[in-house]
Structure 1
């Protein structure tokens, strides 16, 4: 278990209590001025973070008239950890050393005592005691600044890594856009042209109808491809609006343009969560695409019902009337539908029917999708 560092208020409280205990141990309570100086120095530590220099000056009487050292040394350390003025820190350390070295009252100072070797050692000890909190405070300040610099460097490296990844992604999208424009869009355009020519030249009504459907779907696909190419090419520059997301209002148009005999039965309310509407639309779209690819000549029925806070979507098709052509497929459609349904708390099931057809079912709870 990782221990958390104590909060500033708790640390200041403990430091004031420690300074009071130090004054209690070294000050005679009968000496009112000395006791007042000890109390002043201890309570002044509550200001050390906001007014470090003022706090240090308020603790100097404690060092002058008492033997307490906690309050002035803590104030000197705080000033050193927060200030960058080296000359000021040196002057404060020297002032504390002289104040702590000089006897109180000053009238008791004896010139002959200053020449004694013991006082020389005492002065050296006082100077070292004054220098210690200054050096420690400067060390803490340097460590804090180093931590900030390291954090800035880490942030800069993360930003650089993100920019590099975005640059690579932009290049890949640009390459993908070129491929889609040069290959896929060109071939879909040829399909639309050939379907239009077949629609005009054929004398068979069914052939003309099929050619018209192929041409309409090809043109629609070509428009979507061009929009996708524009989105990919705009990557890395200004944001580009995506194609408006489908809703339940688009279901009827989807069924009518499916190119197969399909019937829509729905009783859904108009105000459903947008994720539910998109999931229903994509499920019907994928099911009708599969019917068109794998069950030529089959009829489909799309049923969308809302009961007890659950939306049930079922797409059922009859048995095919002619063999299906072998078309390339990555088999990602049903997997994508299942993942979308799981994110919304629902399920997708599919399988053959006893009549030889196929059924795809989506069940979504509305409450979890909001």
Structure 2
């Protein structure tokens, strides 16, 4: 194999390896990068060639050498039009005034208008290009023109200077619009990210409230029953207490499995939740002396309001068992027009409380529920050493 063939084989093999490593997106990005690098250079070369062709087509056979040199310099100066647009316009003026580099001056003025838009340099460049088209060289020939020819040259000068500026302003406005669209898209993405973060935070808080409300009640009962079991001397009572603990543990595990299933699936938790209709069952199994009063409650309550009322009573009874053993509780639920009022109060404890872990999240979760539903939530100690909770929820869905 020849050296050239070996080089080609190595290049092809390296290209295939790079493509496999970077993938289609990397190859596409490389092509776009090369295109972005070579495109401006190709446009600059095309502009120089067009300007040189324009000079070559119109230059007379007996032209002054200096006019040829100035025209050539004007064409070559276009290579720096992206970095020094105003200086390039000034560099094309002598060749346009004394020679034939009109197209070079127009291209330079268009780039200046694209980069600087309505800057004073644009208007100075436009005035110079207009003057080069209006004034003829040598000045002796210019002085011999009639007024009609002066008017026509002035009109043509406006067209020669105005057209590049119009095109440059259009291109610049398009670039600015594209930049604004990019900024708008980035701002929209940031806003969407913030909304997503807020939704995730709200969902985490909702799940935390649900897990606390579901688990805290049953775990407290389990802890209390375990204490009874430890102090029980009668085997029959011990067996009965152990059965209660087993039932509570099973129910708690089922609730936890349900919540974990919601977390794993990512679907909204739209399943059934306990409501006001289950309060009688809750009161019977809470092991706290309770006086329950329900009056003027609408038959059709919004599901979220009914669930919030149930969770409010459940959390309050849990707190009574944990912090005020032996205390009596009073629950009053009244419908008042378009609002549902709930008040749960208890008197002071009659025996010392068994220390149980508590983070204070229950009342915080109830306050968040009330706020999200447009209601209110208040807590305060009572004069007899007890505690009172008042919650209000709107009943209109």
Of Structure 1 and Structure 2, which has the larger fraction of its residues in helix? 2
